[in-house]
Amino acid sequence: MPDLLLRSAPEDAVARLTLHRPERKNALSIALRDEISDALSALAANPEVKIVVLTGSGDTFCAGFDLKEFERASDPEFSRRLWASSDRYHRACLEFPLPLVAAVNGPAIAGGFDLAVMCDLRIAVPETYFSHPEIAFGDVLYSPLHDLAGAAVARDLCLTGRRVDAEEARELRLVSRVVPRAELDDEVARWTAMIARAPREVLLRTKAKAIARARISANGTLDL
């Protein structure tokens, strides 16, 4: 089985995780979610790491959960795996004790939008857009977006599912910068270098304050 998540060794205190299902627009399968959860757990315990960058292979950041797997949700055992994986994945992202930076290299849709929002900072390319089309058929993660952007923006985007392009996302402060694709890595490196000036212990304490302030429910995925 090919690697679903590419991992880079920490360099200048920065580790990088790349979602690697380009043929599926980096859709979050059970296997990929589990790999992300495992990787974040290991990186949290690595004293050489201060920051983790998340990005996607190809021209899409992430198209959300792999909907093909939901076709098997009527199987009780598979459904249990599906939701256990989802709950663990969301906890791993929301409670990651160090800064997460999303290098948003293209569309971030549904659960991909959530993944970007669960990061602490987002740097995007002009081709990026964010949307929650799943409101047409299922639950939307509300709490992380509310914590990031406030009630007005969260209710707008979670209730309508409308598409927000990169420039509007910048105006809404969903992203910190929008840069040409060729400059994305350099811009991310500029931001991570600023963060990395702080001691790891300070970053841990600061992120703990952010997590506590968010007061996001400890319940499962569908309650977030």
pLDDT in tens, 123-153: 999 999 999 999 999 899 999 999 999 999 9
189 in any annotated domain? no
214 in any annotated domain? yes
Q: Cα–Cα distances in Å, from 16 out to 25, 39, 41, 45, 83?
A: 19, 10, 14, 15, 26
70 in any annotated domain? yes
141 in any annotated domain? yes
Q: Is the pLDDT of residue 223 over 90?
A: no
pLDDT in tens, 146-193: 999 999 999 999 999 999 999 999 999 999 999 999 999 999 999 999
Q: How many CA atoms lie within 13 A of 117 on its CB side?
A: 33
d(CA 140, CA 163): 14
pLDDT in tens, 16-55: 999 999 999 999 999 999 999 999 999 999 999 999 999 9
Q: What is the pTM (predicted TM-score) of this model?
A: 0.95
- Supply the residues annotated as catalytic: 134
d(CA 112, CA 213): 23
Q: Looking at the 3D structure of the chain, how many domains does it have?
A: 1
d(CA 97, CA 202): 11
pLDDT of 220 reads 83
